[in-house]
Structure 1
Amino acid sequence: MVYSPQKQIQSSNSNGEVAEEVEALIIKPSQRTAEPSLFKVLYKTFGPYFLMSFLFKASHDLMMFSGPEILKLLINFVNDKDAPDWQGYLYTGLLFACACLQTLILHQYFHICFVTGMRLKTAVVGAVYRKALVITNSARKTSTVGEIVNLMSVDAQRFMDLATYINMIWSAPLQVILALYLLWQNLGPSVLAGVAVMILLVPVNAVIAMKTKTYQSKDNRIKLMNEILNGIKVLKLYAWELAFKEKVLGIRQEELKVLKKSAYLAAVSTFTWVCAPFLVALSTFAVYVLVDKNNVLDAQKAFVSLALFNILRFPLNILPMVISTEGSIIVKHATFSWSRNDPPSLNDMNFTIPEGALIAIVGQVGCGKSSLLSALLGEMDKKEGYVAVKGTVAYVPQQAWIQNATLKDNIIFGREIKESQYKRVVEACALLPDIEILPTGDRTEIGEKGVNLSGGQKQRVSLARAVYCDTDVYLFDDPLSAVDAHVGKHIFDKVIGPKGILKNKTRVLVTHGVSYLPLMDTIIVMTDGKISEMGSYQELLKQDGAFAEFLRTYANADQEVESTGNRYVDFIILLVMFKYIGVLVLLLPVKAAMYWEYMKAIGLFISFLSIFLFICNHVASLASNYWLSLWTDDPVINGTQQHTNVRLGVYGALGISQGIAVFGYSMAVSIGGIFASRLLHVDLLHNVLRSPMSFFERTPSGNLVNRFSKEIDTIDSMIPQIIKMFMGSTFNVIGACIIILLATPIVAIVIPPLGLAYFFVQRFYVATSRQLKRLESVSRSPVYSHFNETLLGVSVIRAFEEQKRFIHQSDLKVDENQKAYYPSIVANRWLAVRLECVGNCIVFFAALFAVIARKSLSPGLVGLSVSYSLQITTYLNWLVRMSSELETNIVAVERVKEYSEMEKEAPWSIEQTAPPNNWPPEGKVEFRGYGLRYREDLDLVLKNINVSINGGEKVGIVGRTGAGKSSLTLGLFRINESAAGEIIIDGVNIAKIGLHDLRFKITIIPQDPVLFSGSLRMNLDPFDKYSDEEVWTSLELAHLKNFVSSLPDKLNHECSEGGENLSVGQRQLVCLARALLRKTKILVLDEATAAVDLETDDLIQSTIRTQFEDCTVLTIAHRLNTIMDYERILVLDKGKIVECDSPANLLQKKGIFYSMAKDSGLA
């Protein structure tokens, strides 16, 4: 059961409360007394709530500094043995009361912010809905339905985020100023040394982040995996799985090299982050004691300063978020219009594009995509903000501009002529075939007075001009829309994409082509002149917002680029799968076994070494702080402490030891993560390739690609980082408890029950929060669906005067969504308050027992103990967060293992039953009572097939659609295993031998000629078994020698994905060349010439007759004229052989074959 939020929060009431102000936004212009302002409306309505959040935040920030100040009083109390006991109890009570009050104030502040954000979003949603019901049709036509829905979903959510984070604008500077003031009071000018170290570490981390970005590999592994999964049937028929497995692993090896470099940088980053507190303390204390020998570092100064530095750490660490990595294009809060007097066309544009990035700009028609490119070019008037485009720029407009000059001059565009570069550009832009048909080639005059080019040709010339100019930044305004799908894909692959000739340039592409979006680094989604969403393809897909709306709009209209035609279906499947399967996973507990599996994948030695180094790090950290407590207890003689240099030296040495351990465990976890990633990827790849075809037929390719991309990326990058943070948080909590126990062992009585309370609270929250997230997600969709319905039927609603009923329905749906969202707000506060109360109890008992035992305790130990206890709340909160993150991300291991342990097809090779090398010597094929079904729960598709085909015999297989012709081929290659009977080839039962032992010995020329990206030679001989001479011979016999000889790279000619840069006929001849190269005793043609022209058909048939004269040839025929001279014809019908004889005899019988021949005009 989900309880309703308080009545005043519900939409019906909330909107009623703002109804008067909202009305100002939706009344007709003629009735307005002044131009309404949304900001004024919201300020008037929600101003008191923002004021309350301000007061709570200010109170909390001030109370943050009460802890260090009371700690100072407590240390002075312990130091003063004559002070009365009640003072100590008073300070303990104050410390506990302030900590509890701080907790309550902080979470009351968060509660107000989130509830105000929820009310704000509800009010905006209500206003938009009411406006939609009164807006005129002419006004409504200026925006699409999707754009108006985005107002309700994306923009309303932004108001909610604003309410939560607006106070950080003034809070962070206030915390910094107060902390610096108190530090100055405590240590004087020497505090500047520590602050300087903290500030210096910010750009260090920024540089490391930038280097990590440049080390990110833009590999082709996912692209190749996509090809493999789409062409898996061909790989299995040719027994090429191992060759392509090695190809994937080769790319993966390069990727892992890059990951290792990133791991080294991550280790340095972790080193600077973890060691920052120590480096700050060391520099401050060193300056303090070395500048003036009369400066005494007592417990009060040392531990109060440490507490203040810990407070200062958070606001200063916001700086890396502000100091972003320098980009190739930087736009900050910029607003543009077409002229000074026009209203803004682009509002509050805010983004940074890194150097070398590939960025897509998408959105509905008229949302401002082209305007954004014009703004970057300086063609629009900038009203406010900052814009910087670094380097030279090339621009490809939507409407290609062509000069009245030769085609070559249009491309060169006044630049120096470089023939090699020119040829490369012309080929990449798919202009070679066009140049060949022009009267005088590239010297042909084009433009207004010359040859009239088509729109697609003009666009490619415009694109070639930009590419030839070799600039730093490329702006493409939907250049692929003017060309057909295959040319568009060629241009993307060869020019714009991650493997194109512009791969190292900064590229901004406006596009409606959804097939290219998964390959983008970042996608910017435009809505009504604003950026509504921005992120990677996977991130935006999960949000199910404006980007998902864009996909739904354009996925169906887009051209199919993939040869299989399934890719866009996978996009829509992914859209649904992310939304619902992701929710299902949230409900399932993570198996503890997955952690053990991951440890085994890392290697037990590295796992335990990492744990050992974590322990060493925290032992060194505890020892350095304990040494500091001993240092502060040194007696003061003649106004100075003795052995200051020794104390400082040992303190520094312990810090260095800590740094070495930090670097060591960071490297161990990162390198161990790479080992695990390599092993899990190899297992996944091997087992997917070993899966039967039935697995690929029932599993969406999007799911499989997701395992190889998102899940492997999580294992590569996310899990090692989270493990480091989780382990660090765990040992921080343990370390704090050890210090507290060391100072006051009696605390051991209270820590176990507090630990149990913490554990049960955390587990209860995790289980509940999953359910609440699911309910909130499920209840959100009806709000937008109802709004969408209303927009489409607004005229009907107004005609029947049903506006009030529809407003009431909308409010009810918003309320239902709030019923799920509000408890999640409360649940978060519930968890945080209880966790911090556990931490506050530890602070209380640490201080209380220190007061009780003050006679036997030194001030240094008390300071150390209480300063650690003050941090334990932060450690506990971080531990909860990291344990939750680890639990969420370790699911990636489970998903990869799930596919690693699927059913497998028969072994590729069985040593005991392997046939001799010269098998089959004759090529005799016998089907004995053979039956086949596709799945166990389905009927037989082949029934009781009994036929014997002699070695060297040419047999045609015909039948109507669905008769079972291709099923016979699948059975012969054991793509599907037999359900009854057996197939014998030259005395060997094929079911008893390995799949590769069988498939290497028979060859197929399939109906769809599938080629893979790579060299032509690789497509003919992926194992490099044959010499170049043998390859050229096979090409000559396949009538391809002249064509391949004319290619610049000959056998090394790069085939595009699916062989798209070859014609269908050429691809089929390549498949023929494969068969000629293998020269097996049995050849199967599965309607191999159905899709080619008659000329290519004749070439293939004549080659087969001459080159496979002594081989057994089984031809599934589409064109009956190709098999009329065969020795026998098998006629299948409903999975059975109904006729089997020579063509002449079958024609005389006037059966099924006769009727088929008659239909073809052959009888």
Structure 2
Amino acid sequence: MWNPFRPKPAPPGFGSGKQIPERKAFFLSQIFFIWLDPLLKVGFSRPLEQEDLWELPPDRLTTALTDQVEAAFYARCPPEQRPLAFRGKTLDSDSDKGVKEEEITEESTHDGKYDASVTKALYSVFFGRWWFAGLLQLCGDTLKTTTPLVNKVLLTWLTESYVFYRTTEEERTAFGISAQPRGVGFGVGLAFAIFAMQEVASLFTNHQQQIAMSIGLYTRASMIGTMFRKSLRLSGKSRAEHTTGKIMTMISTDATRLDHFAIYGHSLWIAPIQIIIGIALLIANLGYSALVGLGVLIFGMPIQGIFAYIMMQQRQKGVKITDARVRLTTEVLQGIRLLKFYGWEDFYVNQISKLRKGELDTIRKSAIAQSGLVACISFIPLVASILSFITYSLSGHDLNVATIFTALQFFNIIRTPLIMLPLILSGLAEFIVAVQRISAFLTAEELAEPPTVDYESKDAIRVENANFTWDAVVGLEEKLDKKDKEKESKSAKTDKKKAKKSRKAKGNDAEESSGLPTTTDNITASDALQGDAHAQEPFQLKNINMSVPKGSFVAIVGQIGSGKSSILNALIGEMKKTKGQVTFGGTVAYVSQTPWIKNATVRENITDGTVDETRLNHIIKACSLERDIDSLPRGLDTDIGEKGINLSGGQKARVSLARTAYAQSDIVLLDDPLSAVDSYVGKELLENCLLNGPLANRTRVLVTHALHVLDKTDYIYVVEEGILVEEGSYQHLLDNGPIFSRLINEYGQQDSAGTKTGRVKQTTLDTILKDPKDNKLAEALMQEEERMTGSVTWATYTRYIRHAGSILWAPIILALLALSQASEVGNNLTLGFWTSMSIKGFDNGQYMGLYSGFGAGQAVFTFIVSYIVAIQGVNASYSMFTKALRNVLRSPVSFFDTTPMGRILSRLSKDQDTLDTALPMNLMTFLFIVAAVFGTVGLVFYTIPLLGIMFAPTIVVYYVMSVFYRRTSVEIKRLDSLARSAFYSSYSETLTGLATVRAYKHQAKALKDAEQKLDRENRAYYLTVTMQRWLAVRLDVFSNILLLGIALGASDNRTTLNPAKVGVVLTYALSITEIFCESKLCPGIAVPLISMILR
């Protein structure tokens, strides 16, 4: 049987290879977003996949956006702060059409007027669309602000008609009523005028939101792209200052702050205009009585400003602690094996939890300030209206329906920008903090110019009188106060004792000095806020002179820590050159000491995209990989996984060596690749790859501890304490090199023993890979990220509430919410009773008291609900984070081998930030909106029961439309989350192997891969925000039709319907559009946020 709610699933690949049809859609399709219907039908029939989503147009791709913003930003920077590609260029200040670059002249460089502003760079790129969105918002808000004027005319006509037809001729004469009111056509015309104004305002507002959200998307994409490009150019000093954790925070959080501010930024100037217009119309309506309310509003502004300032201050503190937490979490995950070996899980859980407590302390204080702000923006306009109406009554004016309810609508209109303005100011504060951090990052020191390449040189490598240094690791920002430091030190010692006991319990007899490789041994919230000034003296290479002939085989040897690997890093530019000259005679390839393996197949890791099967097979044989590849589940097409989980240490080294051999570079720098393999494999590599194989005719520089290899080399350099102390052939150094001879005598036996150990390990792995069952297991080791489908269950909501403290909070919050809404409804009903003097025995004083009492009750209950939701949200966030962190660190090592680190970091950073702030705010907004919906429906049924019947079909339409919308929107949001995790993993992977990427000159390829993954996320995000407008436009149409029906019904029953009741209903009906629309949008936003609890 056909079920309209369960249609036949659509075929796969709906949007594959197709661009978003928005620009080619006809006019009405663009106005009402009809072009989205086909995708919504597909999403309604089955869960969407990435292949179902349309592609973004070329000008909306990350590459195009980043090119524009990067050029705009660096054109405003002093030449010394620009990347090499942007030096010699400046901004044409006379241009007002985007970004124009021209060569700097002698005159312009003397100008000295540079402004490295991220904000101005973004503005110069997006200013056209930005101001068009602002114009739409201004028009929409103007129509909303002036609608009460038409409503006043309607209420005046209804009052005149009601009085005229409810009185006798004598009474009319007594009251001075002579002319008969206009006919029903006048009311119908006013009803359609109100409908038209509301509908046009709705279209303006929704398209403004659509354009603003697209600008936010472009801002975020361009900023992430610019920061990614910058990270590929960072010097050693800058990488120490801007750690991976800090960069990930900027990409995941700060870029999102810019996105959000782009959406609401116009309210900074439109909201004051709206307030001024509203106040002017209030004065015109109530006379000087409105000035009393105006005084209250002005008095309340500094109070709101104080709350907004507190929120900004706490946010600035919280960002620093978040950076420290993400950095420490990243370092813990990178060193998870060592951590587990020593049994330090609980110790580092406590260290991260301390930072988390400090972070949540700032969030808690900000939440309290935010609750006060919400109460103020609810209570202050209410007090203003109460005092204005009381003053108006005491000054001898009659409280007629048209005047009072029009004034009330103006107060409601003023309330909206007053609500938004503090929130926008809070967003502005976060925007400023984010811009400052991003600007500091984009102007950070970069690598110096790459070594000179002279293909005509007779030497492959020539280094002349060069000094190099590792940049000092910069601490955090300031010194820690002694008291705080001593306190934290005591706490750290206690934790370390506990960790030591844990190690003993596990039977570990490791030395106390062994530790997890983190930048700070014991990070606390105080450290994050105030910093650590301790820094070690950086290692230096001094007076380096090298001349390596083309095609030669050169070795670099020395004791551990003497500077062998540093020499290779100096050659590829990773160490800072302070003196001298480095020249290469050809292209360079680099094999790092710790092999960098990408999360890809074996074939992709070796060939890096381009495949020559004959050459590939020859290199595989030369690198002794044939037997290993045959043992892998899918051979060359086996997915290695993150960190090369499916390979042993020796196999990783040989894959890395094979990549170098396949690259066909003229010069090969090898950082001890033979140490990871056993002796017989090392001999094969030496004979078949380095001496006689694919690397035979290239220049080879080998850092090694395998001293038995040295007699095969052409030349040897001996390093001691960063200085080349001896050099020459093998025999020459044996005869004339005392330091080299000592190395041979001291380390020869150790070298032999080490190779035997390596053979045992390699044999063990090969034995395992021979088992076909284990091959299947290895094939599935790298787990795909889980993706929820369908609706979020009530158990998830219950779990969230339990994490907040107790399930009892739910009925408490609902009860307080009901009291808050009842106070608001009672407040408006009292105003209606007051204008019509409906309650027998009540005088003006009693109406004033009742009206004020309901208003005060509404403010108090609103504050309590906001406070409880915010605080319990913080408690739930802390509880979930602690539990997630403990479970992650107590997971077996196989979990970390099969789960990309970017995915784990996404859970503990971006998702956690959402749970900290966005989820409680969205839930609170949703609760208030639902309460307003019930209050409005109840009020309409109470005042005009017949009109209340109109809600039944409207609610059915809302429900059907929300189901149709939500099935698709929730799935796209989930695809967005998965794509974001994939991008984070790719970003983290690139940063891990940055030295290798830069040595191979593969920055462009890494950048292209990252930008493509970001584009996959962006297309899901763009469709998500566009579908929100699709739903909003349709709900607005039906809500405005409901408003039209109420106005038409009141016009038709003008002779029998009390105008006071109509005033109450119309006041609520004018705001019901936004209420109903947001009540359906919030689940579409909150459901994906709630799903983060499960993630």
Q: TM-score, normalised by structure 2?
A: 0.48
**The structure with more helix, counted as a fraction of residues:** 2
Q: TM-score, normalised by structure 1?
A: 0.46
**The structure with more strand, counted as a fraction of residues:** 1
